[in-house]
Amino acid sequence: MTSTVAGVGAGFHPARALNRRYGVGRFAVRRLRARAVSCRTVQIEHVDSRPFARSLDLSAIAACALGVVLAAGVPAWHGGYFQENWAWLALITLLLSTVLLIVSTTVQCTLLQLVFLGGLVAFACWMTLSALWSHSVTSTLLETQRMLAYVGVVLLAILAVRRRNASALLGGVLIGVVLVAVYAFLTRLLPDRVGTFNSASSYRLSAPIGYWNGLGIYAVMGTLLALAFAARSRWIVARGLAGAAVVPLATTLYFTFSRGSWLALGVGVVAAVAVDPRRLQLIAVGIGLAPFAGAAVVLASRSHALTTAGSSLADATHAGHRLLPVLLLLALGAGLVTAAVAVVERRISVGRSTRVAFAVVLAVAVLGGIGASWNRYGSPWSLADSAWRQFNAGPSPTSANLRGRLFDLSSNGRIDLWRVAWHDFGSHPLAGTGAGTYVQSWLQRRPDSVSATNAHNLYVETLAEVGVLGFALLLVVLVTPVVAAVRVRRRPLAAPVFGAYAAWLVHAGVDWDWQLVGVTLVAALIAVALCASTPSGEMRVGTGRIRIAAAAAVVALTAAAFVGFMANVPLGKARTALESGDWQEATHQAKRAKTWAPWSSQTWQYLGEGQQALGNQPGARRSLSEALRDDPRSWRIWLDYALVTSAAEQRRALATAQRLDPLEPVIAETRGELLTKKKPAQK
């Protein structure tokens, strides 16, 4: 056997010899050739065979697990919004990064990964530097600590992901997003068993992230990732599962009633189609999935109890129990159709004429749709003018029926938010007012009593807070994955994955996604995967000076994250204790936080509020005086200070609070209460 295989490998062809000597027919020759190749293949496989354990790609498993944990764990933890959430995240990711950097013999990364990480670190440094001229040092340093969480996530992903396992990271991210989305829509369909039921407030799906628009763009990124794997995965089972995931993701997106998220989904699809060289195949898979996702959305929209605020628990439970089996059948159908398409693609080669015919049909359908819309609703420019006027109009009156909200084009006051941010940028164009200080400008200049912490626009808020230089650094961070996507657009997953990133870029311009760490880290992981997929520029860092300098920098970042962790976790507990009325615990936790962050006005403010509630007026006065020294533009601290002082100092504190937030009703109420208490004493 060995000699025969050696002969075949050396160029001996028994089929050709038999044909010359005995006149064997062409069919027999083909069979003998096939047997010869099979014989040679068997011998080669026997020589190169490995144990199964060695064939496992442990790096791919680790990358997938990292994607699942980050994409599911952080969003499920209040969306990663509160300072104790991203303090934990920053410390854990930077500690793991430090371990990987020390243990690994070499560190591999692409040039675009370095640019992405370097831009993020430079942006964080500039935000920290803005504390020198900031209107609120406390707010600025808190923003810097949130940036440490983003730096930690990106650094850990870069150290764990290579070009060969970038798709595994994306697969893990998709699994994590689907897990969160399934939990979210089960809170609506099974309100008696999952989550808590409350239809009196907004009735828009927000759990577990805590903000409906944040959950909406989160589901959009998951939908586009599912489309990527449904169209381009190498495994038929994976394609089927990804196709089935589109149904719960679309249902979750619908129940958020997020208009900006639907707009972002449309932009993401267009971006993916525009970049993808195999766009017709991507469109075909999307057309195959659209009926199932569309049917899920239509059926959900027809349920009165699930789309109307104020519905009873019994009605919502009944409607959800009826809808759930139908959605499961639709998900099963979407998965089977996607798997069938994958099987057909492997067995049938589509010719050029068929592709051209399909493209012509699509073009005709699009033009027909444009013509029908023109005839029904008017010209595109008239529609654009009408949409702009509705966008600039005031907030629409709230309605119990949430289905009509998706067709309301009002900005809901975002124009005013952006106008205040633009005014700050005009006043401080170079360096801004300091990271995290927008809320103070809004409270001082807002035209109505609407409360807002952020400008609902990452780009305008960045210009206002850190100026042109900070905005330029942010552009470096955000544009680098776009460059990577264009370079790797011929890779199977690249274009639809870029669509998910483009959707986030658009939505970040109309909402405060940046402050929801659990949402933005999904976009960050997508960006890392795109940058890791670039075909050239991979570099190795050995044990030289560069490696030592990198390790020292990461250790310094870890130390900063540790200090932030030791301060922010007690601060979070102090805030919770104040909300629940546990004054002793609030005072204790505030003192713990003060040890690690004496510069923070929050520590002194929480300590003063706890001391005031316990009757320690002199201690509360001293603590609140320290808080005002650190943050003199906080109306809340001035109001608290007015409650522990008297006479002229009290009047000055109330006047300052009123100047910092003229439309805050609590200040006027407190002033009235204090005057009422003084009148009996004067008599």
pLDDT tens digit string along 659-678? 999 999 999 888 888 777 65
- Evaluate whether 187 touches 195 at the Cβ level (below 8 Å): yes
Maximum CA extent, the chain? 132
Given this model, what pLDDT does residue 393 score?
76
Q: What is the pLDDT of residue 472?
A: 97
Q: How far apart are CA 520 and CA 406, in angstroms?
A: 24
User: Which phi and psi (to 5°) does residue 109 adopt?
Assistant: -160, 155
Q: Using CA atoms, how far apart are residues 33 and 637, in angstroms rounded to an integer?
A: 87
138: closest CA among 629, 663, 538?
Answer: 629
How many of the other CB atoms lie within 10 Å of CB of 453? Answer: 13
Mean pLDDT of 9-37: 45
Verify cis geometry, omega within 30 degrees of 0, for the bond prior to 429. no
In the predicted model, is pLDDT for residue 78 greater than 80?
yes
Question: How does the average pLDDT of the chain come out, rounded?
Answer: 87
Print the SS3 string covering 592-653.
Answer: HHHHHCCCCHHHHHHHHHHHHHCCCHHHHHHHHHHHHHHCCCCHHHHHHHHHCCCHHHHHHH
Alpha-carbon distance of 557 to 91, in angstroms, equals 9
Neighbour tally for 29: CB within 10 Å: 16
Tens digit of each residue's pLDDT (9 = 90 or more) over 360-372: 888 888 888 878 7
Dihedral sign of CA atoms 12, 13, 14, 16 in order: negative
pLDDT given at position 543: 55
How far is residue 598's CA from residue 424's CA, in Å, rounded to a whole number? 29
Mean pLDDT lowest for which of 374-388, 494-508, 615-629?
374-388
Query: Which of 375-379, 408-412, 465-469, 626-630 ranks highest by mean pLDDT?
Result: 465-469
Per-residue pLDDT of 187-246, as tens digits, reads: 999 999 998 888 766 799 999 999 999 999 999 999 999 999 999 999 999 999 999 999
Per-residue model confidence (pLDDT) at position 583: 95
Q: What is the mean pLDDT of residues 308-335?
A: 95
Q: pLDDT tens, 283-306?
A: 999 999 999 999 999 999 999 999
Whether residue 24 has pLDDT greater than 50: no
Among 441-445, 543-547, 574-578, 668-672, name the one with the lowest average pLDDT. Answer: 543-547
pLDDT in tens, 567-598: 999 999 999 999 999 999 999 999 999 999 98
Over range 248-254, report the average pLDDT.
Answer: 97
Task: Tell me how many degrees the CA angle 520-275-288 measures, rounded to the nearest 5.
Answer: 85
pLDDT recorded at residue 4: 39
358 vs 474, more confident: 474
Closest listed residue to residue 481, CA positions, set 89, 67, 107, 117 = 117
pLDDT band at 359 (very low <50, low <70, confident <90, very high): confident
Q: Which residue has the higher pLDDT, 677 or 168?
A: 168
Residue 670 confidence (pLDDT): 87
Instruction: Give the confidence band of 257 by pLDDT, cuts at 50, 70, 90.
Output: very high
For residue 3, name the pLDDT band (cuts at 50, 70, 90).
very low
How confident is the model over 519-535, as pLDDT tens digits?
999 999 999 999 999 87
Per-residue pLDDT tens over the stretch 114-142: 999 999 999 999 999 999 999 899 999 99
Mean pLDDT of 56-77: 92
Predicted confidence at residue 7, as pLDDT, reads 39
Which pLDDT belongs to residue 541? 59
Q: Which of 63-67, 179-183, 201-205 has the lowest mean pLDDT?
A: 201-205
The pLDDT, as a whole number, for residue 456 is: 96
Comparison of pLDDT for 432 and 405, the residue scoring more = 432
